[in-house]
Amino acid sequence: MKKFLKWSGLVLLAMIVIMIIYSVFGLDQTLKLNIKTVDLTQISDGNYTGSYDCYRWSNKVKVTVIDHRITEIQALKLQDGREKLVKNLTQRIIDQQSPAVDVISGATASSNGYLRAVELALKNASTNP
């Protein structure tokens, strides 16, 4: 029984260490992202996908552009529990017609990961008309 408890404790400790590493790994990179505006006049009507892959902060979106305006953003993959954040950011992007919007206070990394995915979708659109 002692041997089982010892191994169970080691397994639990290993899982905790892995979770901590997963939570922190990529954080610095994501916090330092500089989201840029995209020239929508160069983007044809269509649906464009973009993704940002960085561990916990990975996101994938589909951005719809009509008449050189962002009309819709659909989250294809986002962090669990970030639906409200994404809804808020999506509205800001559509209102300002740019992914270069202010991040949500207290959720900078999560905001940056989502905004980068939108930015990349629009950049992909401007390079692949």
Is position 11 within any domain? no
Is position 5 within any domain? no
Q: For residues 113 and 20, give the distance between their C-alpha atoms in angstroms, rounded to a whole number.
A: 19
Is position 38 within any domain? yes
Q: Phi then psi for 19, rounded to 5 degrees?
A: -65, -40
pLDDT tens figures, 8-26: 778 888 888 877 766 667 7
pLDDT band per the 50, 70, 90 thresholds, residue 109: very high
- Residue 80 has a pLDDT of 78
Kindly tell me the sign of the dihedral angle through the C-alpha atoms of 39, 42, 47, 50: negative
Does position 77 have pLDDT exceeding 90, yes or no? yes
pTM here is 0.81
Is position 42 within any domain? yes
pLDDT tens figures, 25-53: 778 889 999 999 999 999 999 999 999 99
Q: For residues 76 and 127, give the distance between their C-alpha atoms in angstroms, rounded to a whole number.
A: 22
Is position 8 within any domain? no
In the chain, the percentage of residues whose pLDDT exceeds 90 is 66
- Residue 125 has a pLDDT of 83
DSSP single-letter state for residue 32: T
Is position 20 within any domain? no
CATH number of the domain residue 59 falls in: 3.90.1010.20
Give every CB contact of residue 114 below 8 A, 6+ residues apart in sequence: 52, 59, 61, 75, 78, 82, 85, 86, 89
Does position 108 have pLDDT exceeding 80, yes or no? yes
Does position 129 have pLDDT exceeding 60, yes or no? no
Domain extent, residue 114, equals 27-127
Is position 63 within any domain? yes
Do 95 and 117 meet the contact criterion of CB atoms below 8 Å apart?
Answer: no
Is position 10 within any domain? no
Task: Please state the domain count of the chain.
Answer: 1
